[in-house]
Amino acid sequence: MDHRRRSLRWLLLQLGLGLAWIVLLASRASGQVGLGLTPVQVGQMLLLAGWLPSVALAVWQMRHRSWRALIASDLLGAGVLVLLACTAYLPLFFFQVVWFLPLALLPRGLVAELLHRLLAKLWRS
């Protein structure tokens, strides 16, 4: 049971990290110039087209948390999201695909593992 609780905590940390990153990216948007989107629109776009598809990766990473697996899956996930942004998402979002690049490049699995270990040390102290 304790292992399940730790795994669930890790998963929530990883998904929450992605949501926090989306909020930060969306806060940088301004819809005042040309085809610009509002922060809410950028947030919705990243949430639906970038974060939701990454939930499956997060669940897989929860069960495979070795450093090698996390590095490989973060790189693969980033590559797939960048590929999607440059192909399938380009007709949908036009020049707004640039918002997907920083979302894709955040190695959430690695950062979540580091934060999880740091928080575990703090809670034990």
- Report pLDDT for 57: 94
- Report pLDDT for 31: 62
- Retrieve residue 52's tokens: 């939701």
- Retrieve residue 115's tokens: 């934060």
- Report pLDDT for 32: 56
Per-run averaged pLDDT (10 residues), the chain, 125 residues:
86 95 89 70 92 93 94 95 90 85 92 93 84
Domain count of the fold of the chain: 1
Question: CA–CA separation, 113 vs 81, rounded Å?
Answer: 21
C-alpha distance from residue 33 to each of 44, 72, 85, 122 (Å): 19, 38, 22, 45
- Kindly report the number of other CB atoms within 10 A of residue 38's CB atom: 13
pTM exceeding the 0.75 threshold for the entire prediction: yes
**Domain interval for residue 66:** 2-124
Question: CA–CA separation, 121 vs 100, rounded Å?
Answer: 33
- Report pLDDT for 123: 86
